[in-house]
Amino acid sequence: MSFLIADSGSTKTDWVLVDNGYILVKTQTKGFNPYFQTSTEIYGEIKNYLIPQLNQHLDSIQQIYYYGAGCSAAEKILIVKEALTSAFGSIELDINHDLLAAARALCGQESGIACILGTGSNSCLYDGKNVIENVPSVGYMFGDHGSGANIGKTFVQHYFDERLPEHLKLSFEKAGYNREIILENVYKQPMPSRYLASIMSFLLTYSQDDYVKGLIKHCFINFIDTQVSKYADARQLNVNSVGSIAYYYQDILHEALTEKGFGLGNIIKSPIDGLIIYHHS
């Protein structure tokens, strides 16, 4: 049996075609979020960049397991369903929120707290099969604490408020950032959360800078306070996390969790390998 797995965040989508336990195709496209994109836009990306890579295997695909950002409400799932149906025709679709992908990849069939710390952020309490509790994520404007977008937004706020140390301010501007460019990208260009999260590429260069470490830790603590700490018996379970922010800044995340009385569990950059295991078992 051949099946396709998709793990889609706001920045990128990982696709894997599996047949009898063997990986036939492993590739990426842009990320999708039905809160910001139409079914036509999603279909266009799939048609132009994914279908050509699957072309010789299209007839053998029997099912698609799609996990995506924004796929919690029925009307948003429908947007993705319409795009996939347009691209693949009549095929069995299993569409779920990316939070379930994170939980299954991180915890398998064990219970735990599963988090996403990437472009956006989210968390849940997982019982080994399903998400049983979720503190709702409200996006980069009002939440997404600890995410790339949130950390980038906080750093930019410090820049605008002239709170950055001089060496960071000068380096930030030398890297091509200034007031006009930032405001243009945040207020006039599509996907502002993706732009804010892209600032993490600059911050990664200064990952050992005390000011940057302190700022990131502050954002992680906000995430722990607003999300993780609200689950029943949270301190009795390890906190697992998936996403580039958790992966590259896991030492700071560990420090923040320890300070708040939580244990650190698994940290992975992407759920896709864990999902292959989950769906093949």
Q: Look up residue 46 and give its DSSP letter.
A: I
Per-domain boundaries in the chain: 2-101+273-280
Report pTM. 0.79
Distance CA 249, CA 17 (A): 30
Q: What is the pLDDT of residue 188?
A: 92
Q: Is the pLDDT reported for residue 213 higher than 90?
A: yes
Of residues 113 and 56, more confidence is placed in: 113
Q: Which amino acid is at 225?
A: D
CATH topology of domain 2-101+273-280: Nucleotidyltransferase; domain 5 (3.30.420)
Binning pLDDT at 50, 70 and 90, where does residue 65 land? very high
Residue percentage of the chain with pLDDT more than 70: 98
Mean pLDDT of 109-118: 91
Q: What is the pLDDT of residues 227-278, one digit of tens each?
A: 999 998 888 888 999 999 999 999 999 999 999 999 999 999 888 888 988 8
Q: Is the pLDDT reported for residue 281 higher than 70?
A: no
Q: What is the pLDDT of residue 140?
A: 67
Which of 76-79's residues contact partners 24+ apart within 8 Å by CB, and which partners?
76/34, 76/35, 77/34, 79/34, 79/37, 79/38, 79/39, 79/42
